[in-house]
Chains A and B, each alone.
Chain A
Amino acid sequence: MSKYMVNLKINNVPLAVEEGTTILEAAKTLNFKIPTLCNHPDLTVAGNCRVCVVEVKGARLLSASCATPVSEGMEVFTNSEKVRTSRKHIVELLLSEHNSDCTKCKKNGNCELQSLALEYRVGDHTFLSVLKPKDLLPDLSSPSIVRDNSKCIRCQRCVRTCTELQGVNALCVAYKGDHQTISTFMNKPMNEVVCTNCGQCINRCPTGALTEKNSVDFVWDALYNQNKFVVVQTAPAVRIALGEELGYDPGERVTGKMVAALRKIGFNKVLDTDFTADLTILEEGFELLNRLKSVLVDQDETVKLPMMTSCSPGWIKFIEHIYPEMLGNLSTCKSPQQMFGALAKTYYAEKVNVKAQDMIVVSIMPCTAKKFECDRPEMRDSGFKDVDFVLTTRELALMIKQAGIDFRSLEPEAYDSILGESTGAGVIFGATGGVMEAALRTAYEVVTGREVPFTNLEIKPVRGMEGVKEASIKIKNVKPEFAHLEGVELNVAVAHGLSNARKVMDDVRDGKTNYHFIEVMGCPGGCLGGGGQPIPTSEEIRKKRAEAIYDEDHNMKLRKSHENPEVTALYEEFLGVPNGHKSHDLLHTHYKARIRY
């Protein structure tokens, strides 16, 4: 059906746009910039901050351009005297309720309200501050997310993020009028409510009201301590996004420069979470094959299918809260970060001849939930806290700046060995569908002795930004030991963003699906859109990061996890076989039900 075209003028420039387009979108096509705060490309329209107001000829009041559709013959002015004065007043009114102590704010320099205040040259106390001192105490209870309501402008992006993208609804708009506030249930601390720590709210907060719990100073302390051997691991999605914090465009890979920067900062060894991503594929792949055998051959009813991936700690906490009855479906594999920690303080410590108690393991993650994960009591299988500190991509960028490193001029360097070798399969863990693709590349080959039947090993049906993706692979001509899988159609599903996960979980719970294996990543786009990634985010940016991840995979010599020579050596020297006794001690875990409401 062809859409109606609507003719209008913006700042006297005529144009025609599709019916239903907002004034804001129409102005963008002409490159007229209209400032916004509550508007976000990932979220529904709210129209509550009012900074996007424009003048429409003949209208009595100014219109919020984000929430006003165009109409035939409309004449819009985006920069009239009335508009500019109003916008300035709106920003000043927002500031009258805002804790404007910018120099002490973690978002100083990357704050949309601050930028607007600068752009509009706000007056000095045009309006008296009505900030209440009792609101000045931030909620520091969560290991991942700091909530500071004194910085909040009630744009409600966080509430919409938590509801629309994540389906968690930990945050709500409470009370009304001048009492209106963003709140949890009964304004309880963040660590006591149903929050997955995914950090998506942080990525969309235009001010400093939501930020990550910063661990940079702990890491500097560890680095300055001469008695500590500090190793660092970097997650797959960090290398393709870190550049954005350091002046690069989205989608530029900075892997080698990042390794060089980490060495300059002073880490004793720079290692790669991609290594344990490869290891995860072996552990999880064999777990899937074992589960398939238990269900198909032994008809063991205690073994649950579909198996679900367990790499994403936001997703883990989500299922612990919302679907506790399905914890048996989760793979028992720890996430790559925690596998790394457990191995670093056992196998690796012995190799490099360092006592585990003298070793500090730092993770660079695209994720805020990883901060919670490393604090979990289950994550101490080495006898120590397996991963000591987690820094987000943003925090690493801060450290690089603090260290005075000129990132652009760095020569790319390679990861240290061992625990630094990886394959393309490990890299794609950073994108939605990546774990599934990596697992299929290995599992199919283990079962049949042949490569997965996809050109260039690229399993396209599980790639891309669609919320829920499905694929089926017919297993044929298997090796004798997998005779029970001959002719089986392996059905898989991939979901990213927790509201998509919820759809899949409801279908699985209601018996509407025939999946064997489901990959869930808590954040939109997978880890590359994680709560610890550079701000801003949008689908366009996430697509560029995904392209970068698949380019990285494409350029790797090894692209299948089971071909990682360091992983092979690890099994030969230390672990024995996948899902073996030692693996279970160090690399697998269990989950617990949490409050549902």
Chain B
Amino acid sequence: MFEPFFEFAFMRRALVGCLALSLSAPPLGVFLVLRRLSLIGDALGHAILPGVAFAVAVFGLSLLAMSVGGVLAGLAVVLGAGLAARGTALREDASLAGFYLVALALGVAIVSASGGRIDLMALLFGAVLAVDDPALLFMAGTASVTLIALAVMWRPLVIETFDPGFLRAARGRGAVWHLGFLALVVLNLVAAFHALGTLMAVGLMMLPATAARFWSASLGGQVVAAALLAMVASATGLTLSFHADVPTGPAIVLTAGALWLVSLAAGPQGSLLAQVLRRPHYAG
């Protein structure tokens, strides 16, 4: 069953890359869920498309150009939405929706204008063969940078997520942590899209994060659970993708989705089973 990983170098590269991102993307997803921004990952997944498409149209299939283009487009949307939300009466989710829809349309326009030179399916849903050595290094590097950054900004990020008013009163630079956090989200989505595609990359970030809620009542526990679930989904999904001849993105996300459903049904914290299973109550 696991022979493709022994036989093929590209499968090993894809596995290592996805495992690396499983360590960094789902913890970001946990914070997105807690900030009630679960759908923002989706928006940002769309937002990086024009940057990538533009890079491909101009520079060809260069990893560096595509990554820089994706990150720049994502950051532009994050910053634009953040500034619009802070400077005007528009809420952040509404301004983000505006920006990403424009970005998505722009991306599709660039793809079609470049006339077949860009494989839209690979861009949206990923291609396991896209994970060459530079892409693998980029994914591993992104995971390392993200984990270090999360460790450094953990305290302010937790406070800013739980009680932004408290941090504002203490002049704790809430906007810096918020935008830094969203920049990490963009970076991870760009790193993940080489293997998973811009649309499916969000799944590896959000599904384990929403499932983690059913496994632990503490923030640290949820972060660890999300990373573990994502690693299981990556390994299983890649195997499935090879044997069933499904693109890697949907295969990994479907596996993550199955794990999410299992967690929702039978996880130890607040799942359906935990509610149905009436255990005897304590005396006090």
Q: Do A and B bind each other?
A: no
B residues lining the A interface (CB < 8 Å): none
A residues lining the B interface (CB < 8 Å): none
